[in-house]
Structure formats: C-alpha cells, structure tokens
Structure 1
Amino acid sequence: MGGPDVAALVLPSAGPDPIPMATALAAVLGYARGRRPLFFRSPSSPQGRWVQVLAYAMDRFDGQPPETADGATDRDVLLAEGLHGRLDPAAWSAVRARLAAAWPLAAEAVGRADGRAFWELPDDEFSVLAEPGTVGAALRSLAEGPGARHVVAALHHRHPALVPLVDGVTRRQLWGHLREGDSGPEAVVHRELVANAGAFAVLETATATLLGRPLTRLRLHDVLLWLSGSLRMTHAVAVGRALAADSEQGLEALLPA
C-alpha cells in the first residue's frame, strides 16, 4: 500500500516493530468508538443493568469544541478531566491555578512557533544547545510539576497541532529514546513525526474520512503510543477491525493502493 515511506509507521517509542498502516487505522478507530460493558444502578433501576459505555476518551476530549475565551477558564480544566479523569476539589483548584500561571509561557511557545505545527519546527527547537527561549524548553516546563498532565491536556485542546500530550504512560515510553542534548521527551515525538511524515499524512487523511473528524498527527502519535504503553493496543485494534467489518467499510480501502 503506497511506497515504503507510507506502508507502516516506524515508532521506536511504541515498540520495536513497524505498525502497518491498516493496523494503526484500526487502533485509532477502536480508540474512538470502542465500547465496554458497565454495570449501572440508578434510582429508576435499583436492581442494576448492564450498559455499553465508551472505552476510551476521544469523545470526551477530542470530540468537544475548543474553548475560545481569552486566557485559562474552568472549562479548560473540565476538558482535561475528560481525558485524564476527575480531580478532587483541592487538586482541581491547584490545576486551575497552575494553568493560569502557565498561560504566559504557553503563549510564548505559540508565538515562537509563529503558525508552524509541532512537526514543522526545526530540530533546534528541541535541543538544549539552542536554549533559552525554544518551544521545547517551554513544553518541558509546562509538563513538569503536580497536575501537569491535566495542564498539558488543556493546552493541547487549545493548540492540538503544537502542544503534545505527554503523561506518565507515554513519558516512560519516550524516556529511553532520548538523545544527548534533547530538551525533553517532546524531542523524541518530534523526531518520530518528522521521520514518518508521509505515513502520518496518510493516516491523518484516512482518520478524517473514517471518523468524520480531523485529528492532528500529534494526537494520532499520542494515541498509538498510549495504547502501546498501556497494553491496550491489541484490544483497540481488534475492536477497530470488528467495527470496520460490521460497517462493511474496509480499512485498506481508505489507504493508498
């Protein structure tokens, strides 16, 4: 399917083997639409019953319209909770305050990027040798400290083509692939996106067609990395293939011949 540069994604952070494009597309579909059973009780049904709920967070996070207000808002934190789970009141207040404090630094990163997407930035933006003031340095600071994963999730929702999602699972996957001089794990994401530019362009187009919703290659990389690191890749791929079979929409038909 296509040339060798688009036949598979070579993502060392996700594992030693290339990910065939049809497999990657099935994984994204499974992540987007897969469901799991949940036993649910309510006042109207005290005996309880089984219901099917979404297994993953795409609708709660990516499916929500972006916040458009200037500056950090409560909704930014609510969107981050849609990806990473509810916060207790004390943690919620701490994340809200940290997000407001981080806003100027995030604005600096956006200004430094000057309209370019994360994968369009030069390598120097992710090297400690070019610091201070680089995008990589800003992203490293934003991803540090308590509550950082919710802060980063809120900023990614605002800037889905610039701020990568890095949490405990994906950070551990990326850490072993850091090179001397890297500003942080984001440098690994940048290298893999650049090295797989053709394949991710194909995956972006196929995903938008399949889901009726565009996802940036930065988010697609995060989905594949998180599924791999959390040992959910096999489940997501199986669910995605089953969903495609039920709809009679072959995944391969969405990819270049």
Structure 2
Amino acid sequence: MTTRARTVLSLPSVGPDPLALGAARDAVVGYARGTRWLRFRSPGVPEGRWAQVPAYGWSRFDACPAGEHLDADVLLGEGLHGRLDPAGWHAVHDALDSLAPLDEALVARADGRPFWDLPDDELSVLGEPGTVGALLRRIGEDAGAHAGHVIAALHHRRPALVPHLTRTTRRALLPHLEEGDSGVEAVVRRELRANEDAFGELEAAVRADVGDVGEVGVPTRLRLHDVLLWLATTLRLPHAQQEGRRVRE
C-alpha cells in the first residue's frame, strides 16, 4: 500500500470520519469534470434534445483567469452563484468597489503569507484590531445582500488569502468555533494547518488529473477545502466522487 493510499484528511466540518485522499481526489475531479444531463429547446430544435453540461462551477469560475476590472469580477461571481438581475448586478459591483480599502488592508496585513501560514493571532480576537480575521469579518458584514457573489469575486482575486464561504458552509463551520476565534474562517485555517501534508498531496493529485487549466493553475488548498465542504454540506459529495471515478477511469 502506498503512502498516498493511506493518507486521510481529518476535516470535522465535513464530517466525523476521516476522508481518504483518494475519495477527496475523486470529489474534486468530479467537481471539475463531472457532467449532468440537461434537456433544452431551441428555435432549430423545437422538439428539444438532451445535452451533457458541466455539473458544477469549475469551468465558469475556477478555470477562468482573474478579472481585470470590477465588471469581470461580477461576472465571475455570477459564474459560481448564478445570474443577477440589474439591481443585484449593480449592488455587487458597488459592494466590490466600496470594499477595495478593506481588500488592500487585508493584503498589506497578510504581507505575502497565504491564509494557512498566518500566525494564530491573525484569526483570534486577542490580536485585534487590524488582524486578518477582523478584516475578513468586516468584509463579510459589508458584502451586502449578495454576499456570495461578492466573496466569490474576492476569493478569485485573492485565492490564497480570502476564504470562499457561503451561507451553507458558514453554518457547517459554526459548531466548530472555539473561544477566541475571530470568525468561522479560523476553523478553516485550523483544518488546513492540521492537514498540511494531506492537502499538499491533494494539490499534486488534482494537478495530475486536471492539468489543462493553463495560466490559472490548480486552485489553492483554500479553494479545495471549500469545494469539499460545499459538496458535503449540500449532499453532493457522493455524486462528485462517482463522476470523478468515471472521469479518471
């Protein structure tokens, strides 16, 4: 049995049982390459026909290069969380614009360090004010009614620093908060630190299976954690793993 075959990820936010590296790899590959059937009609085919389309948001988000302006950032948020009406589109655009000072302060505070390498005080109320945790909390509070779109755009812009969390995944992280945590982001950092070697192996495995993302590169372990947590909390993990095995075989 190889070392990789024995590697597991211990992610309490995902579930009580350790997640084998192979199962995590299948899930991420399924998220990236899995498909689903969709029946649609068009003027040329009024009777309708079936087509296979991407099952998840990888091609519309993870595989897209970083946006060069706010309009592109909003489109990236839509690629992951769905289309916005005109009012919602402008709300996300304005929120990203108004959050620019906090985003810049966050980058300055991190000082080139990825999220998982930040010291403990940066995600603790004991180190506030001005910590990464405090800035992330402010960003979440000021993101507005379409926070999912806003946080998705900020994560895509800072993939090694800004965790991408949704209402669903935040709820899953809440029971794992510890006294002194600045927010649920502290739970994500703890799990990344506790599984440092395993996530390194997962990154390498995903790179081997999904090697056609060009200049975008393989998503950071911060995004891989988010994908696994979202798949588990939305009950999509078995389907993604099944699709991943199909694609790899």
TM-score range, shorter chain: over 0.9
User: Contact 1:143–1:149 (CA<8 Å) still a contact in 2?
Assistant: no
Match of 1:234 among 216, 232, 238: 238
Partner AA of 2:66 in structure 1: P
CA distance in 2 between partners of 1:141 and 1:208 (Å): 34
CA distance in 2 between partners of 1:81 and 1:140 (Å): 22
CA distance in 2 between partners of 1:3 and 1:94 (Å): 45
Superposition misfits of 4+ residues, deviation over 6 angstroms: none
Identical-pair percentage: 58
Give 1:111's aligned residue.
108
CA distance in 2 between partners of 1:238 and 1:64 (Å): 25
Unaligned runs of 5+ in 2: none
Correspondence 1:131-210 to 2 at 5 A = 131-144=128-141, 145-210=144-209
Give 1:90's aligned residue.
87
User: Contact 1:143–1:166 (CA<8 Å) still a contact in 2?
Assistant: no
Change in Cα spacing, 1:3 to 1:25, as seen in structure 2 (3 Å) is closer
Give 1:225's aligned residue.
229
Unaligned runs of 5+ in 1: 246-257
Q: Using structure 2 for the length normalisation, give the TM-score.
A: 0.94
Measured against aligned partners, the alpha-carbon deviations of 1:80-99 in whole angstroms (never above 9, x if no partner) come to 11011111111111111111
CA distance in 2 between partners of 1:223 and 1:3 (Å): 20
Give 1:60's aligned residue.
60
Measured against aligned partners, the alpha-carbon deviations of 1:140-196 in whole angstroms (never above 9, x if no partner) come to 121224211111110111110000000011111101100111111100000000000
Measured against aligned partners, the alpha-carbon deviations of 1:95-118 in whole angstroms (never above 9, x if no partner) come to 111110011101100111111100
CA distance in 2 between partners of 1:140 and 1:150 (Å): 16
Partner AA of 2:133 in structure 1: G
Give 1:16's aligned residue.
16
Matched, 1:2 2:14: no
User: Contact 1:142–1:148 (CA<8 Å) still a contact in 2?
Assistant: no
User: Contact 1:142–1:151 (CA<8 Å) still a contact in 2?
Assistant: no
CA distance in 1 between partners of 2:102 and 2:20 (Å): 38
- 1:68 CA displacement: 3.5
How many residues get paired? 241
- 1:3 CA displacement: 7.6
Partner AA of 2:169 in structure 1: T
Question: SS in structure 2 opposite 1:14?
Answer: coil
CA distance in 2 between partners of 1:56 and 1:191 (Å): 27
Match of 1:243 among 202, 227, 247: 247
CA distance in 2 between partners of 1:41 and 1:143 (Å): 40
CA distance in 1 between partners of 2:72 and 2:149 (Å): 12
Give 2:219's aligned residue.
215
CA distance in 1 between partners of 2:184 and 2:77 (Å): 20
Question: SS in structure 1 opposite 2:60?
Answer: helix
Question: SS in structure 2 opposite 1:98?
Answer: helix
